[in-house]
A and B are shown apart, each in its own frame.
Chain A
Amino acid sequence: DTEVTQTPKHLVMGMTNKKSLKCEQHMGHRAMYWYKQKAKKPPELMFVYSYEKLSINESVPSRFSPECPNSSLLNLHLHALQPEDSALYLCASSHHYEQYFGPGTRLTVT
């Protein structure tokens, strides 16, 4: 089973809202990732968690705040976003190097 789940599927939020994206995997993978994908562009790495510790932050603005409560869960907390942050947010997990993506959350900031 290579399933990664993400909730919600769609999210519309105003620039003053606070919301969270959730990601879950039950494959025993010890690395989890957040990517951002704009229309007609490839995914761009945002954060890497390895063994529940943040190991990579690709210079992401502080209005995005990741959290890894345990080895199966990954959250992305959103606050004071801008319209240009509208995108597909993808979670992935990996065992060694092969990464498996969840279906994504399509975020619209109004």
Chain B
Amino acid sequence: QKEVEQNSGPLSVPEGAIASLNCTYSDRVSQSFFWYRQYSGKSPELIMSIYSNGDKEDGRFTAQLNKASQYVSLLIRDSQPSDSATYLCAVFADGLTFGKGTHLIIQP
């Protein structure tokens, strides 16, 4: 049984600070990892994908992958109130297996 674990939060971060979201997964053979953002009442939106160990940056977002520790993280720099949402970590195996999501609140 593949499992993806996330702290459900809420995680409260002041505007302009760095938000750090973490995720662990159980299946050692997993190769593809994703972060989705989901606003209340909307569908998930892909914001980052990462396949190799290390960091991947895209604008204010940085994804980090450590396969030895089975750990994936997402950093959001210069957090904005519009970043307030649920962030879902996902691992690909045929379809996506999602963590329960972390509810992020950016305080103005």
Contacts and interface: CB of A to CB of B under 8 A. Distances in A.
B100 A41 contact: yes
8 contacts: A42-B101, A56-B95, A90-B44, A98-B34, A98-B46, A98-B49, A99-B34, A99-B92
Contacts of B101: 42
Nearest to A103: B43
Contacts of A99: 34, 46, 92, 95-96
Interface in A23-68: 33, 35, 41-45, 48, 55-56, 58
A48 B43 contact: no
Contact of A100 (B46, B95, B100): B46
Interface residues on B, range: 20 to 34
Contact of A90 (B32, B43, B46, B97): B43
Contacts of A44: 98
From B51, B96, B98, residue with most partner A Cβ within 10 Å:
B96
Interface of B: 32, 34, 36, 42-46, 49, 51, 88, 92, 94-101
Contacts of A88: 43
Nearest to B98: A42
A92 to B, nearest CB: 8
A72 B95 CA distance: 18
Contacts of B51: 97
A5 to B, nearest CB: 11
Contacts of A92: 96
Contact of A42 (B43, B45, B88, B92): B88
Given A103-B43, A104-B43, A97 B95 contact: no
B1 to A, nearest CB: 12
B98 A43 contact: yes
B95 A42 contact: no
B94 A43 contact: no
Contacts of B46: 2, 98-101
Contact of B45 (A48, A97, A101): A101
